Amino acid sequence: MEKKQPDHLSRPILALGEDRLHTFLLVDDSIRGAVIGGSRMINQMRWNHELGILETLVLGHAYLGACLMSATLKGRDRLRLQVDCSGPIKGLVVEASAAGDIRGFLKNVPIPVEKPLEDSNLSPFFGAGFLSVTRMLEDAKQPFTGQVMIAHGNLAKDLAHYYLTSEQIPTAFSLSVKFDRQGQVTAAGGMVLQALPEADDAVVGQLEDRVVSLPSIGTALTEGKTPQEWVSTHLRAFSPRFIDRRPVGFNCHCNRDQIRNLLTLMPVDELKDIQEKGPFPVIIRCHHCNTAYAFDREQIDRIVAMRFSD
């Protein structure tokens, strides 16, 4: 993977340092939560994928959501968050690992916009469709996928809907990507809260109401607050207790050898067509991180010769 160099980072982002995912417990350990400051991750995602404001907002929410969901992963566990929809977005795919690596892409870039945005309501851009979550657990024989219909066109609400419908876990998400007047990302963060089996229904209801009324975590991060400070300040009545933290970031493990191996798996007639018609160099991009891998005519010749020698 090639990480494109940023044009700049705002002072609040530089002051916050490395992005981290913090996990915590509330109300005598009956509620689990995770909070992330992901400003560097979202900026790197935007630079690599060369995204506009709308695209950064949509995919940024998905990165933050998948990262929060990864808080329960261990070892080499991974998960995939996928949206397939009828709206202009068409869909997205984001993967997160227990190691804190987040990668993913939008299916339609740029997202077509017929008129200037009047608010942050993204539901018209999603339309009808499905949200699915696939967990690839190290000790499981095969991946497990759960799927729900898009109910809100708001990723935070639809992720909560997924957990309640597919896994019967009362859950609340808060996702935020903030921009300045020049359209630069100044901060990005999010939080998830989930009820454990011993949680009291009345407390769960109080927390759900509290999440709805919480001030934006993105605004707090822009002002120089840390994710832990935001949780400690606004959820103080529920006695938060932080138990773990891990670094997170935009990272893809693609490399030139992997892309070359994919080329070798193409049908021989398609390889021959590339060999004869080009154009050269042949550019192959990784969907997940938008890194470009170039192969000149000599390299393609060697791949074709290898296929004919099989």
| Domain assignments of the chain as residue spans, ordered by start | 11-250, 256-309
Distances (CA, A) of 262 to 45, 255, 281: 24, 11, 16
> Hey, what are 92's tokens?
């997205």
Task: Give CA–CA dist 216/226, Å, rounded.
Answer: 13
Q: Left (φ > 0), alpha (ψ -120 to 50) or beta: where does 194 sit?
A: beta
The residue type of 193 is L
Kind plus residue range of the DSSP H or E element containing 80: strand 78-85
pLDDT at 269: 87
Give the angle 111-174-246 at the CA atoms, nearest 5°.
Answer: 100
The answer regarding whether domain 11-250 maps to CATH 3.40.50.150 reads no
Closest CA to 69 of 132, 3, 111: 132
- Candidates 3.20.20.140, 3.30.465.10, 3.90.1280.10, 3.60.9.10; CATH matching 256-309: 3.90.1280.10
> Hey, what are 277's tokens?
């018609």
> Hey, what are 19's tokens?
């992005």
Which residues face 149 on adjacent strands?
Answer: 130
Distances (CA, A) of 7 to 48, 185, 257: 12, 12, 29
Alpha-carbon torsion angle 29, 41, 51, 134, nearest 10: -50
Do the Cβ atoms of 213 and 224 come closer than 8 Å? Answer: no
Q: Is 69 helix (H, G, I), strand (E, B) or coil?
A: helix
Q: What is the pTM of this model?
A: 0.93
Closest CA to 41 of 93, 6, 11, 78: 6
| pLDDT averaged over 10-residue windows placed end to end, the chain, 310 residues | 71 71 96 96 94 96 98 96 97 97 97 79 94 94 95 96 95 94 92 94 88 90 92 95 96 93 87 87 94 92 80
Helices (H) and strands (E) in the chain, counts: 11, 13
Task: Give CA–CA dist 251/286, Å, rounded.
Answer: 12
Task: Give CA–CA dist 79/69, Å, rounded.
Answer: 8
pLDDT at 12: 58
Query: What's phi and psi for 91, nearest 5 deg?
Result: 150, 175
pLDDT at 15: 61
Closest CA to 125 of 93, 159, 152: 152
pLDDT at 265: 87
Task: Give CA–CA dist 33/21, Å, rounded.
Answer: 10
Kind plus residue range of the DSSP H or E element containing 221: helix 217-222
Residue whose token pair is 């657990």: 137
pLDDT at 156: 96
